[in-house]
Structure 1
């Protein structure tokens, strides 16, 4: 990983595959009106109520949900970092909108893409190059509603920042963290000892700033 990415692993202020979108995970039909006002962070709730796109190894026994804001450069840095784990972990990247209107539009565009992973790669390259991310002229209101629902769910978990990591650790307990961290440290923290990350770990979980 480049040092520029390593310095950015911090938090910012804050199931059913969709038909025709095999890369989309956990596309729930539950209305935002029925989302809980507050609940403990839950992998089950994330699976049932969030909508994200798949990345990594869908056959892995390890699944991690990453709630991210498309306008968040720290989320972009974390996206680059977890590529070290893509052979060993099934990720579901869940877009939310907490920073600005473009966050929601870009999240909707990513979810509606026929290849969300490739779209995310291009988006994050542009974002980390200080070019604002992907250009979005119009979006389907259906996907805007989905991103808004994801945001409601994140807020119900009491999250204060993104990227927000949600997974089940080796002991079966729910693990959640506000802020990115090195891939090697992440695997170690979760007790996923079957995963070997060849690159030396660096950094630590970041103390997030308040979300908007």
Structure 2
């Protein structure tokens, strides 16, 4: 099994850190390449099953009884049941959801909407992304009603000046106003790129990009929200009209 080497950082969970020295050697290979072993469960034929979080993707791993070999994927019984499915669901709806939301909260976001709005949505935004602007425009009824606040996590990945434009918004006296003015213009070049920005702004943009990678997002917009059960969900790309209520909630008339 091949793993893509991450150039970003991942924080190893306390369980993984405590168990690292006792883990079978094949699992240490996963950890060395940025993965996180988060759960362990019993598997048949003397094997051990593990749940791992790798670049935002949750996978099942199985290690043979001699601790020498590892394989990933679904293990099915004679009835076709996936033996690791329940362990994955428990992790996705519990620890991972909590961890992902806390990770998003630590990002350097720009507020769109009222800080008192109860529903919070995070979206990774590139200033040169036309679909990000379209999502901003489509969300106006929810944001303007005060029901939803969208927290834009600025990144610069699309064009050569994307990072400089993101820096200009973050460094503005009122970042929320700068973002709104830019989005109203529908990504026209009204925003002057900030060619020289401070170390602090550079750090914030770097950390935003790292969080984006950790969350398994590779393009903008990448939107994260909590469903009706509180589980964090992800929408890649411009949300279709049919999904707007799912992401932003039912629009209530004032």
- Asked if 1:89 corresponds to 2:148, the answer is yes
Quick check: which has more Rg, 1 or 2? 2
**Paired residue for 1:47?**
105
Structure 1 pair 101–149 and aligned structure 2 pair: CA distance change class (3 A): farther
CA RMSD, aligned part only?
2.6
- SS of the residue corresponding to residue 124 of structure 2 reads strand
- Cα offset, 1:61, TM superposition: 2.0
**Paired residue for 2:128?**
71
| Structure 1 residues not aligned, in runs of 5+ | 1-31, 199-212
- Asked if 1:103 corresponds to 2:162, the answer is yes
CA distance in 2, matches of 1:160, 1:68: 11
- More strand, by proportion: 2
Alignment of 1:130-141 (within 5 A): 131=189, 133-136=190-193, 137-141=195-199
- Cα offset, 1:45, TM superposition: 0.9
- Cα offset, 1:185, TM superposition: 3.4
**Does the CA contact (< 8 Å) of 2:9 and 2:210 recur in 1?**
no
- Cα offset, 1:126, TM superposition: 4.0
**Paired residue for 1:113?**
172
- Asked if 1:80 corresponds to 2:137, the answer is yes
Which segment drifts farther, 106-115 or 36-45?
36-45
**Paired residue for 1:152?**
210
- Cα offset, 1:58, TM superposition: 1.5
User: TM-score, normalized by length of structure 1?
Assistant: 0.66
Structure 1 pair 72–64 and aligned structure 2 pair: CA distance change class (3 A): same
| Structure 2 residues not aligned, in runs of 5+ | 1-6, 12-33, 35-54, 58-96
**Does the CA contact (< 8 Å) of 2:135 and 2:239 recur in 1?**
yes
Number of aligned positions between the proteins: 162
- SS of the residue corresponding to residue 60 of structure 1 reads coil
- SS of the residue corresponding to residue 167 of structure 2 reads helix
**Paired residue for 1:3?**
none
CA distance in 2, matches of 1:105, 1:166: 24
**Does the CA contact (< 8 Å) of 1:97 and 1:148 recur in 2?**
no
Alignment of 1:26-65 (within 5 A): 34-36=9-11, 37=34, 38-39=55-56, 42-48=100-106, 50-65=107-122
User: TM-score, normalized by length of structure 2?
Assistant: 0.56
- SS of the residue corresponding to residue 118 of structure 2 reads coil
**Does the CA contact (< 8 Å) of 2:8 and 2:214 recur in 1?**
no
**Paired residue for 1:170?**
228
